[in-house]
Amino acid sequence: MKYASFAKTSGLAALLSVAIAPQASAVTLEELAKRLDTLEAKNQLLQQENSALREFVQQTDKKADAAVSASEALADNSSIQKLADWADKTTIGGYGELHYNNLSGKGGEDDKDAIDFHRFVLFFGHEFNDDIRFFSELELEHSIAGDGKDGEVELEQAYIDFDLNDQHTARAGLFLLPVGIINETHEPPTFYGTERNPVEKNIIPATWWAAGAGSQGELGAGFSYAAYVHSGLNLNIDDKFSIRDGRQKVSKAKANDLAATARLKYTGIAGLELSVSAQHQQDMGQGLVAGLGSGNLIETHAIWSTGPFTLKALYAAWDIDVSAVKTADPLKAEGTDKQRGFYLEPSYKISEQFGVFARFNQWDNKAGSNSGLAADSEKEQWDIGVNYWPHEDVVIKADYQYQSNDNGKDLNGLNIGLGYQF
C-alpha cells in the first residue's frame, strides 16, 4: 500500500514537473499526496457503492424475472387464459322498459290503467374470429310467461354474420328484417314515446323477425343495402288478414312459401337518412288459405337532423291479393288487400338531457274498402311528450296520446315510461 502510494506520488511529481512546472511551486508534494489519498478514499467508496448498486440491480433483475415468470405462469394457466379469451370475444348487453298507461276509453273502447314491465331483453354476442360473429336477443315480454300468463319469452335474434370482405357481410339465422325505423333499432333511449309508434307496430309489423339468409353491406357514396330470403308471414282469415297477427316468430313456422326483403339506404349527408324497403311473398297464407295470393310491402322513410331539431317521416303500404278470398268470404276479407299507414314526428332537444316531440300517426289495416266490415277502419293518433335522459343510456318518458279513430272508439290519456340500455 505504501509502495503504491509512493509510486503514485512520485509519478505525479514527475508529471507535474514537466506539465505544470509553473504551478508546482504553489502546491507541495505532501498536499498532493493528501489529495490523492482523499481521491482514493472516495474512489473506494464509489467502488463500494457501485458494488452495492450492482447487487441491487441483480436483485431487481431477479425480481423482474420472477414477476415475468409469474405473469407467464398466469398466462399459461389454461383456465384463466380461456376465460380471458372468452371475455374478450363475448359481449353481453340488454335493454328494458317499464310502462304505465292511464288511458280512458271512449265510444265503447275499454279503459286501460296498467303498469307493465313491457320488455326485458338480454343480448349475447360472440366473436369466433375477425370475420365470423354470433349475435342474439332474448326477450321476456310482460314479466311473466307461461300458461295463462300475459307474457312471452321470445328469441328475437340469433344469427351468424360472415364478413365476405371489409364491406359486405353474409348473414344467416334468425334476424330482424330491414324495414322501418324502429324494427332494427328499438332500445328505449333511442326513440321518443313510451309506446312504440302504432304505424310500425300494425303495418310493418315491428318488431318483425324471421329466419333466413342474405347479405348486407356498403355500396359506396353513402349507400348501403340489405337483402334476405327468409320465412314469411302466415295471414289468417279469422284475424281478418291482420299483418301483425301473421307473424310466425319462427316458432315451428310454416315455410311452404318464403319471402324476400331488400332495403336500400342513403346516409351520405350528415344528419340525413333516406331509406326504401320492399318485400315480396308469393303466398301470404303459406298455401293454407284458399284463394289468398301474393303480398308486397313498400316502406320508405326519411330522418333529417339538424342541430337540436329532428324530423322523422315514414310511410308503409301492403298490397295483398285477396281477390279470390273476397269472392268466397267478402265480409272478412273486405278491405284487407290494402293495409297502409304513415307518421310524422318532429322533435327538439332542448339540452343533452331533455327532448320534446310530437307525432301524428294514421294507419288503416282495411284501407282497400270503406264498406261492410272495412267501414270506418282508419285510425289516427296524436302523441306529444318529453324524454328525459339522466344518463345517456337511461330515459324517463312521459307523453299524452289522443286518438281520433273513424269508428269512434278512442283511447286517450297519459303514458309514462322508464327505459335503459347497456
Residue numbers at the binding site for other proteins (CB under 8 A): 91, 125, 133, 161, 163-169, 181, 184-185, 190, 215, 217-222, 267-271, 273, 303, 305-308, 352, 391-393
Nearer to other proteins, 40 or 392 (CB): 392
Supply the minimum distance, in Å, between the C-beta of residue 305 and other proteins: 5
Nearer to other proteins, 25 or 351 (CB): 351
Supply the minimum distance, in Å, between the C-beta of residue 388 and other proteins: 16
| Crossing angle for the helix pair 2-19 and 29-76, to the nearest 10 degrees | 110
Nearer to other proteins, 111 or 131 (CB): 131
Supply the minimum distance, in Å, between the C-beta of residue 66 and other proteins: 24
Supply the minimum distance, in Å, between the C-beta of residue 267 and other proteins: 5
Among 211, 181, 365, CA closest to 275:
181
Supply the minimum distance, in Å, between the C-beta of residue 299 and other proteins: 15
CA angle 161, 166, 172 (to 5 degrees): 15
Nearer to other proteins, 216 or 242 (CB): 216
Nearer to other proteins, 165 or 251 (CB): 165
Phi, psi of 88 (to 5 degrees): -70, -30
Nearer to other proteins, 185 or 407 (CB): 185
Supply the minimum distance, in Å, between the C-beta of residue 256 and other proteins: 20
Task: For the chain, report the end-to-end CA distance as a whole number of angstroms.
Answer: 79
Question: Which positions ≥6 away from 336 have C-beta within 8 Å?
Answer: 240, 241, 320, 322, 365, 366, 368, 374
Among 208, 207, 211, CA closest to 231:
211
DSSP 197: P
Supply the minimum distance, in Å, between the C-beta of residue 185 and other proteins: 6
Give CA–CA dist 309/201, Å, rounded.
Answer: 25
Give CA–CA dist 340/379, Å, rounded.
Answer: 11
Give CA–CA dist 153/175, Å, rounded.
Answer: 16
Give CA–CA dist 24/14, Å, rounded.
Answer: 10
H/E run at residue 275:
strand 272-281
Give CA–CA dist 158/137, Å, rounded.
Answer: 7
CB 226 within 8 A of CB 178: yes
Nearer to other proteins, 46 or 311 (CB): 311
Supply the minimum distance, in Å, between the C-beta of residue 167 and other proteins: 5
Supply the minimum distance, in Å, between the C-beta of residue 209 and other proteins: 17
Rounded to whole angstroms, what are the CA distances from 17 to 4, 24, 29, 37, 410? 20, 7, 11, 20, 120
Nearer to other proteins, 184 or 299 (CB): 184
Question: Which positions ≥6 away from 234 have C-beta within 8 Å?
Answer: 246, 248, 253, 254, 284, 285, 286, 288
Nearer to other proteins, 329 or 393 (CB): 393
